Amino acid sequence: MKQATLIGRFRPRCALPVAAALTFAAVLTIQTGPAGAVDLDTWMGNQLPNLVSTYKGLHAHPELSHHEEHTAALVAAELRKAGYTVTERVGKYADGSQAFGVVALLQNGAGPKLLIRADMDALPVTEETGVPYASHVRSTNASGQEVGVMHACGHDIHVSTLIGTARALAANKSAWHGTLMLIGQPSEETVDGAQAMLADHLYERFGKPDLAIALHDTNAHAAGTIGITSGPALAGGTSVDVVLRGIGGHGARPQDGKDPIVMAGEFIVQLQTIVSRQQNPLDPVVVTVGSIHGGTKRNIIPNEVKLELTTRAFSDRARQITVDGIRRIAQGVALSAGVPDSLAPIVTIVESESTPVTYNDPKLTARVKSVLVEALGAGNVFDDDPYMASEDFGDFGLEHHDIPTVMFWLGAMDPVKLASAKAEGKSLPGMHTSHFEPVPEPTLRTGVTAMSSVAIALLQP
């Protein structure tokens, strides 16, 4: 296999007591025309101001899932300027509405086809970081409520990294051969964006990739470092709606009704026996009730209580045990309360909000990790444990991992703050919180270096 040229050293521009003396070998050659090549550190130094500006603009102007119109337009415009053939508005949601997916192709001779994904949507979170480029955006969510909007999961880092990677690879076509397929994905937070693009015949229209890779920033690692997991990396998520039905009445005469609020309390407590008594502890699961609604007044027993659950598992067997357990417990609680069969609980799997396991193909993971170690140094690449959060990136690998996929973790935290927090036994504010604060320059520098290096290594004849 042809190897990309090693041409210089990458030095992180952040205060990092442990790693300040480390240097990073950059697996990338940037062609600048007849004059030849320049090293990655020089190229990144020229690109970083623009990428940081792009990041801050995205951060200040986030868009909720299903509404990424301006973010998608920015991605499309930047990738066109970099020389890619771009198609916009790729994706159809289950309700038939159009998604804002972006697909950019760059063909460069014979070789594999590599998909690189970045997700674009933000969260209904009111930002409290206090940074100068903080979001002050207000919007309306799907329920009609006014909410703050924030890139509290770092998708602005992902998009900016994709743009930088696209530029680097377009400028360095002599180092790789094959086809790049860059994806600006909508609606990861509602976990229906990848499926929307696949439902719009993504692979039939643009070709099926041989490999797919992505990154995700994290508060667990310092900027300048990477974490990676082999095998199941992120849990599969299953969303479940449960309606416990009873017989309403006056709160002073509970004997005349069947109280669904009491049933809901018993149901919630018993759910955890799925985790502790029904599931193999070596194949972990999580069952969480995130929403419960019932009743209108303190002295009225309602007719029903609605609960919204999320479950997480790393195997199909664990998922099925969990779903079956939810059904049985709901039925058992209703039976013990004497609820008639005509008012049996309603348990619904919300397929549009369910995701597969994000599975890092072991062979591909080994290849990616070796490139990351060469590019960043062995002391800056960590083996991470699986994470119980869920993602829809795994959908791009298709069922049964038909396409090998890998997602790695991009450290995004200020190294001094992270070290201080760890010394105190604490964590810095993480994803989906109002105080999540990546440090832009070193995070983007490492992200582009890592992704470009991996792409070049994989795109060999």
Task: Kindly list the catalytic residues.
Answer: 119, 189
What residues have CB less than 8 Å from 127, skipping those under 6 apart? 134, 135, 136, 148, 150, 152, 434
**Distances in Å between the alpha carbon of 55 and those of 52, 61, 137, 152, 369?**
5, 10, 16, 13, 26
Maximum CA pair distance of the chain? Answer: 89
- Sign of torsion over alpha carbons 410, 416, 422, 427: negative
Q: 15 burial class (0-12, 13-18, 19+ CB within 10 angstroms)? A: exposed
- CA 235 – CA 393 distance, rounded (Å): 12
Rounded to 5 degrees, what angle do the CA atoms 51, 164, 442 make?
60
The amino acid sitting at 56 is K
Check if the beta carbon of residue 329 is closer than 8 Å to that of residue 270: yes
- CA 456 – CA 170 distance, rounded (Å): 11
**Distances in Å between the alpha carbon of 361 and those of 26, 182, 372, 388?**
24, 20, 16, 18
Radius of gyration of the chain (CA): 24
- CA 51 – CA 49 distance, rounded (Å): 6
**Distances in Å between the alpha carbon of 265 and those of 102, 155, 252, 333?**
45, 37, 19, 10
- CA 307 – CA 266 distance, rounded (Å): 13
